[in-house]
Structure 1
Amino acid sequence: MTWLQNRIKTVFERFRADRYPSPPRRRSSRGQKTHVIILDGTLSSFEPGYESNAGLLAKLLDELGPSINVYYRPGLQWHSWRSIRNVLFGGGLDQQIRDTYGALATRYRPEDRIFLFGYSRGAFAVRSLSGLIDRVGLLKAKHATPRNIEQAWRAYKNPQTPETPAKFRAAYCHRQVTIEMIGVWDTVRALGLRVPFFWRWMPDRYGFHNHHLCRSVKAGFHALAKDETRLAYRPEKWRANPDHPAHLEQVWFRGTHGDIGGHLSGFSAARPLSNIPLVWMLQRADACNLPLPKDWASRYPTDVNAPSIGHWQGFSKLLILRRRRVISVGPTEWIHPSVARSERVKPEVHEEK
Structure 2
Amino acid sequence: MASSTTTTPKRLIVLCDGTWQNSVSGEAYSYPTNVTRFSRALSQFGDRDGQKVPQIIYYQPGVGTGALADKLAGGIYGAGLSACVRAAYGFLAHNYNPGDQIYFFGYSRGAYTARAIAGLVTSLGLLTKKGMDRFGAVYQEYYQHQSQSQGSHPQQPNIARLEELSGGELHPGAKDSVEIVGVWDTVGFHDPKPILGNNDTGEQFEFYNTALSSRVNYGFHALSLDETREAFLPTLWDSEIGVTTNTNGSNSVKQVWFSGTHAIGGGDKDSILADIALGWMVSECNSTKTLSFVDVDESDRMSYLLAESTTSASAAAGGADTPWATATYPPAIDTAAGGGASGLLSSLKKKATDAFWTVTNWVLPPKSGVRTPNAAGLDPARTNERLHQSIRDRRFDRWPCRPVKGRVPGQTSRWQLAHKPGAVLDESVPGDVESMLKGRIRPVG
If the TM-score is normalised by the length of the shorter chain, which range does it land in?
0.7 to 0.9
Q: Within 2, Cα distance between the matches of 1:119 and 1:74?
A: 10
Corresponding residue of 1:232: 231
Counterpart check, 1:303 vs 2:297: no
Q: Within 2, Cα distance between the matches of 1:250 and 1:109?
A: 31
Counterpart check, 1:342 vs 2:394: yes
Deviations 1:64-104 (A, max 9, x none): 59921100011023432332323332111101100100001
Equivalent of 1:173 in 170, 174, 188: 170
Across the aligned residues of Structure 1 and Structure 2, the Cα RMSD in angstroms comes to: 3.4
Kept after mapping to 2: 8 A contact 1:105/1:144? no
Corresponding residue of 1:278: 278
Corresponding residue of 1:61: 42
Kept after mapping to 1: 8 A contact 2:225/2:257? yes
Counterpart check, 1:35 vs 2:12: yes
CA-CA distance at 1:124 after TM superposition: 0.4
Q: Within 2, Cα distance between the matches of 1:88 and 1:324?
A: 19
Where 2:82 maps in the other structure, the secondary structure is helix
Matching residue's letter, 2:261? T
Corresponding residue of 2:137: 151
TM-score (ref. length: structure 2): 0.62
Kept after mapping to 2: 8 A contact 1:253/1:339? yes
Kept after mapping to 1: 8 A contact 2:14/2:59? yes
My pick for the range that moved more, 322-331 or 108-117, is 322-331
Matching residue's letter, 1:176? G
CA-CA distance at 1:63 after TM superposition: 5.4
Where 2:117 maps in the other structure, the secondary structure is helix
Corresponding residue of 1:12: none
Moved beyond 6 Å, runs of 4+: 308-312
Deviations 1:164-213 (A, max 9, x none): 12434670112322210100000011128x9xx96485779544442111
Corresponding residue of 1:81: 68
Q: Within 1, Cα distance between the matches of 2:254 and 2:207?
A: 23
CA 1:80–1:207 in 2, change beyond 3 Å: closer, same or farther? closer
CA 1:297–1:325 in 2, change beyond 3 Å: closer, same or farther? same
Kept after mapping to 2: 8 A contact 1:97/1:128? yes
Corresponding residue of 1:291: 292
Identity across matched positions, percent? 27
Where 2:42 maps in the other structure, the secondary structure is helix
CA 1:169–1:176 in 2, change beyond 3 Å: closer, same or farther? farther
Deviations 1:250-271 (A, max 9, x none): 110001112x21121xxx2x31
CA-CA distance at 1:139 after TM superposition: 1.1
Kept after mapping to 1: 8 A contact 2:131/2:166? no
CA-CA distance at 1:272 after TM superposition: 1.2
Kept after mapping to 2: 8 A contact 1:64/1:293? no
Corresponding residue of 2:371: 325
CA 1:276–1:199 in 2, change beyond 3 Å: closer, same or farther? farther
Kept after mapping to 2: 8 A contact 1:183/1:220? yes
Q: Within 1, Cα distance between the matches of 2:207 and 2:106?
A: 19
Gap regions ≥5 residues in structure 2: 47-52, 146-156, 246-251, 297-303, 311-318, 332-346, 402-445
Counterpart check, 1:261 vs 2:265: yes
TM-score (ref. length: structure 1): 0.77
Which residues in structure 2 correspond to 1:125-204 (within 5 Å)?
125-140=113-128, 142-145=129-132, 147-159=133-145, 161-168=158-165, 171-177=168-174, 178-191=177-190, 199=195, 201=197
My pick for the range that moved more, 156-165 or 98-107, is 156-165
Matching residue's letter, 1:261? G
Corresponding residue of 1:104: 92
Kept after mapping to 1: 8 A contact 2:13/2:104? yes
Corresponding residue of 2:32: 51
Deviations 1:210-241 (A, max 9, x none): 21111321110111111111110111011125
Please say which structure displays the higher CA radius of gyration.
Answer: 1
Matching residue's letter, 2:185? D
Gap regions ≥5 residues in structure 1: 1-26
Q: Within 2, Cα distance between the matches of 1:86 and 1:323?
A: 20
CA-CA distance at 1:157 after TM superposition: 1.1
CA 1:33–1:254 in 2, change beyond 3 Å: closer, same or farther? same
Kept after mapping to 2: 8 A contact 1:75/1:122? yes
Matching residue's letter, 1:285? C
Kept after mapping to 1: 8 A contact 2:104/2:114? yes
CA 1:34–1:96 in 2, change beyond 3 Å: closer, same or farther? same
Select the structure that is richer in helix.
Answer: 1
Corresponding residue of 2:209: 210
Corresponding residue of 2:415: none
Q: Within 1, Cα distance between the matches of 2:159 and 2:278?
A: 38
CA-CA distance at 1:28 after TM superposition: 8.6
Q: Within 2, Cα distance between the matches of 1:307 and 1:67?
A: 41
